[in-house]
Structure 1
């Protein structure tokens, strides 16, 4: 499920141009180049490498630099943001990675119970490595987190740090990783203690993109999930891409019983687009447009016509009434993408498994 080819191509090409032109001070800037070198130098020295990926794009969010190192028991693929992805598809991707002899683990870095389970798994894995390498007397284990921007590495590091604290004295000396909705905020490699007796340290690293992305489909998925800063992507184009995905999915069918008329006419909707009443209004509006659609989803012209109708309806659902058509659509697009990225409009896995493994 990746939407229509035309939306993927249009969005992907616009992103690729930024990457190829090197005109963006954000794309693979000097911070990323320096961090990339530092990470490559340290990978052979750490005990474990946790490659954090986005569960919505398990393949497209691959950390390309790890290809320079052979797959081994030192590497674990962590599928973060599992709460935003399709549960059944995440299970399939886990099995796929196991078939390739990777060690996968799906997490929600904001779920304490999930982090506790992962920490137990991690400690058991470390014990196995020590036994197999005859290093059971080693007092300190170092683990490196790597990944592309905005897959949630820093939030993951913070959660492991908080859950893994042992003594009350450590509670008073918390050091937090910088967590931001904007990709590329982490600039340096930072160490966090997550366990004692023996000591285990996590190294949080900056998110690194490849110097160029030559695949339009991957570019589109990275843009939609927020791995790229939004200033390099046209928000309306991004919203068109998401709606093409939604329209092909079955997610909207869950909203059948939502009435867009529940909201009183005199009710004022503020700028908080995540308000429950707004979310319900948006869901109901989208369901009605898709359910009443008489065209063919696979026909590009019909799909564009449906999306234009959805934008018109969403202006009412979001209470956007600017005179400028373009400004109104831009606001609608931004609000819509924010709802998608917070999981309020369904759970989607954008990457499809290789045919031989489906």
Structure 2
């Protein structure tokens, strides 16, 4: 991946976005994050256990480094959320890594009741030694923006209401695709005898990110607002990752009939918006919409597969990789049927490509590499 590393050293044009070793104040750390960080640190002292929610696609990059010294001193369960978007062939290596580090870890899907139930069972097991001597226990949920904390809280609410129907009506946590939706800390009772309260908290990032690649991974996963970095720059990074990993070559084996260019008849003037791919939308896609999305995905995969197989350069070379990415933007514009003269064609390509990635339509991924760990003797 030397080509990608060289591009990252250049910053993919991101040097002015403060993804640099110098750090410093940057625009994604608004006042409410600073206040929330102070509040979280204070409430951590009162908490009996912490559920640290991370994005399963970036198990390390989605950790808030500033909070780690405080979190490591507490009973903690690391919940790797969005496991449905993460590569299952690698996920077991991550759980083994956390086990080696003597850290409780569980991959979850916050929208799955059975998955959240398993998390709660682990939490209750971890609290077992405290339950016998404390009448009231506090469990705090923390994490960076857009890792799915609010979705998890809402699922816990549903489970709690089924367990304790007489319990007072609980307010649902606000859920949205943009980072920073939850802006204050709220507590919710989830159990009686002993009383267990879950404290939700807003997603907070560190004031600066010293590592360019970590910043780009957070942006790609949606933990940093697209407007801070720019969709085109994030899409460039995504294409660089796909190319250096040889991912488009694997798509050849997914569906040869479609990849080889034999497509279903496309519907004209389709009004379906990719925004409807977001989870838990009120109006899920119908069959026609699903065919449209499938055609779009296959068109994207075919475009990237073709550009990689026809490319004579070396993706490990920085300039060659940049050239390939430029070719792929043109191929994607054609595949997505974006007007050739559109002044914002690359931006429109980037937005659609990022939506397909973030909703798992391009396949499951884990962007972080599993660290080498010494076996426990």
| TM-score (normalizing by structure 2) | 0.84
User: Contact (CA 8 Å) 1:2, 1:351: kept in 2 or not?
Assistant: no
- 1:309 corresponds to: 327
Cα deviation per residue 1:178-201 (whole Å; 9 max; x = unaligned)? 111100111100112333343322
- 2:182 corresponds to: 186
Q: In 1, distance between residues paired with 2:194 and 2:297?
A: 47
- 1:64 corresponds to: 65
- 1:249 corresponds to: 245
User: Contact (CA 8 Å) 1:269, 1:278: kept in 2 or not?
Assistant: no
The 5 Å alignment of 1:1-358 reads: 4-9=4-9, 10-11=11-12, 13-16=15-18, 20=23, 22=25, 24=27, 27-69=28-70, 71-72=72-73, 74-127=75-128, 129-130=129-130, 135-165=131-161, 166-170=163-167, 173-252=169-248, 253-256=250-253, 257=256, 258-259=258-259, 260-264=261-265, 267-273=268-274, 275-324=293-342, 326-356=343-373
Measured after TM superposition, the shift of residue 21 of structure 1 is 5.8
Measured after TM superposition, the shift of residue 339 of structure 1 is 0.8
Cα distance 1:200–1:255, how it changes in 2: closer, same or farther (>3 A)?
farther
User: Contact (CA 8 Å) 2:75, 2:126: kept in 1 or not?
Assistant: no
Q: Give the match's secondary structure for 1:298.
A: coil
Q: In 2, distance between residues paired with 1:346 and 1:223?
A: 18
Q: In 2, distance between residues paired with 1:190 and 1:2?
A: 45
| TM-score (normalizing by structure 1) | 0.89
Measured after TM superposition, the shift of residue 295 of structure 1 is 2.2
User: Contact (CA 8 Å) 1:63, 1:147: kept in 2 or not?
Assistant: yes
Cα distance 1:14–1:221, how it changes in 2: closer, same or farther (>3 A)?
farther
Q: Give the match's secondary structure for 1:4.
A: helix
Measured after TM superposition, the shift of residue 3 of structure 1 is 7.0
Count of residue pairs brought into register by the alignment: 349
Q: Give the match's secondary structure for 1:270.
A: coil
Cα distance 1:302–1:263, how it changes in 2: closer, same or farther (>3 A)?
farther
User: Contact (CA 8 Å) 1:2, 1:245: kept in 2 or not?
Assistant: no
Q: Which is further off, 11-20 or 337-346?
A: 11-20
Q: Give the match's secondary structure for 2:368.
A: coil
Cα deviation per residue 1:127-159 (whole Å; 9 max; x = unaligned)? 1x32xxxx5153332100111111111111111
User: Contact (CA 8 Å) 2:3, 2:317: kept in 1 or not?
Assistant: no
